[in-house]
Structure 1
Amino acid sequence: MVRNTTNERTVKDRMDTMTWGPLVLQKHMLFAIVAAAAGYGILRLRLRGSESAAAVSAVLLNALLIWIVSWKLSLLLFNGMSVLRNPVSLLYFNGGERGVWLATLLAAGYVGFMGWKNKKNLPIYTDSGLGSILGGASLYLAFIFFEGEQNRITLGLIVLLGVVLTVLWLRSRPTTHWRMSVQWAVMFILGYALIQSLAAHGWDKPGTTAVAEDVGLKVGQQAPDFDLMLLSGQPAKLSDYRGRTVILNFWATWCPPCKAEMPEMQSFFAENEKNGVVVLGVNATSTEASVPVVKAWVDEWGLSFPVALDSKGDVSQSYRVNAYPATYVIDGDGVIRDKHPGPMNADMLKEAATKAKPGK
């Protein structure tokens, strides 16, 4: 039985995802794809009419491909044992922040090497590449701004700065010297530093963590309570776990990303249970063949965290789960501190759980 349901909440409360077969495309990943495409379009505009347009475009497009492949495969380097135990995880996970840095270094190294081979084009690589990155990043941040994320004043000013510099960059003539590119880069860095400095001393000062009074599905709202039966046969309510950080995970046995995620959930729970963190799995039982099938999978994965059976699908509907898996991070006061559509590995779970700690 679900209490304090959110059927009348707006569509914005939903976990925004797109599903393509077994794959889950998150909203922010879609933003990044659109921004990358825009950056490439800006690159082509910048090089329009240039004799080096084809060569420079090819190099930078190859650099983008190198970045994507390196970022994805970096999981093998940073968490190789997990991949060996569960090879399908390579399809859904990546090397995270460390993977981003590694991929960036490899892509930049490739661009530098190609520029060294063809020294006369190196300033053009730099000029067009910086303009492309600035324009694409500005569009991505604009998407985040209109999503209503925190620190909107700071974000809005950074977006405005990026857009203005991108337009001015496109209106200027492509340079064959370093000086102009360096000037544009310095202008953005100084403007960014100024905005961040004003934010730190003004409108974006962090406040204290307060307990939410209204019930809803947005970060900062009270998570809807519910009553379900655990697979063990015991009744359970979300409010039973007050005082503990709850990783509320919606999953199903027929969901391929869930199968990749479950060993990560168990690993995270085993490591963090002593720290007051509980993983509460909510199985989409209304979509399963039978409860014994669910139990068989739980036994095979060796799950030791509680698994609740959503036999009627009411809880999944209340939490606006439109693709599996989906995870909410709830603090000890029952307030939502983070939510994540799609699979999560142990590192992602650890980072998300820190948002539910006091003072976050």
Structure 2
Amino acid sequence: KECGGSEEAAKIRLHARTSFWTLSKVDPWVNLLRGSAQAFSAIMGGVDSIDVLPFDAAVRMPDEFSRRIARNCPLILLGECNLDKVVDPAGGSWYLENLTDETSRKIWEFFQSIEKEGGIVKALKAGAIQKKVNATAAKRYELADQRRQSIVGVNQYVNLAEKKLEAPEGSCCSAHKGHGCCKNADIQLPEVEMSVDSACKAAGEGFSTCLINKALVAGVDCKCGEPLEMEALPKRRLAERFESLLAKADAWVEEKGSRPMVFFANMGPLRQHKARADFSRDFLRAGGLDVVYPSGFQTPEDAARAAAESGCAVCVICSTDDTYPEIVPAFCKALKEIRPDMMVALAGYPADHVEAFKEAGVDIFIHVKANCYNTVEAIQNKIGL
């Protein structure tokens, strides 16, 4: 309308696709829930059509089962929730309409800023769009690293016994080559003049998405002048950083035959150490690490002796803030006399004593505000992953 279009031209047909960004290779069954929630949101938002990504799309070429489940997801939402029987399911909800208005205004401002830069092509050539997208991605990765953004099964509630999906040789997912999971994006295609019609035929004959895309791009006769030189925007997923940590742990298991372990120096009765020990165990599992979880020790010296004899490279002291001033110096002193090379972590962050505990021998702290990715990576490096 602002550009002079008619009322008919201002109408839009809205197609939605669930997000590749949110898919995880680890515990991929959670992707079923993510796809369902996104499909529900899209339908509530008034889309005309929707494409739900199969839950295994980040791992392999989706199989018959995953494609059928993805297809049935919006059909169930329509057939059983009757979301298509209401003109505007979210109509009348103040908070949704208020958020819609706020989002629309910000989008319009952003659109205008692109126009001020000379349009989308000039903005891309100048790197302005890439800079904004990369900054947003970096912020979201940071939130995930700190576990302020929860990725179920990846950075929280990791199931180390989860059976991984098999990716048959030659299987191809929806990622581009170089992304790390597309195994045949460089395969030689048949000599064929690719068009939309032939692409549809190729899909019926079992071509994967990336091969069809490659063929269509290769078959385009570009008449737009000089090729555009601009920074590419990579295809990203929020879970991929933690998946790299888990992959290193899995490689260790493959080589050693056992999972890398961390010793827990649990102090006192169960009520004294359980809360922090359980938190720390879930924290470490985000890096594929398992723990030796003994009953509570009565003295720091006993705990230090058990830690030294465990064969682990890292130990975690688990107790309460009010007991740490008595426990930590004695534990570190006893441990360093036997195993001076052992990394000592403390469950919690008693701010008034942090510097004193570092001087005593604590190397790292595990707590709710810690950067989980950096902390677990440091522990993995100490173990030798």
TM-score (norm 1): 0.23
Larger radius of gyration: 2
Bigger helix share: 1
- Richer in strand (by share): 1
TM-score by length of 2: 0.22
Kindly indicate whether structure 1 or structure 2 has the higher relative contact order, using CA contacts under 8 Å at least 6 residues apart: 1
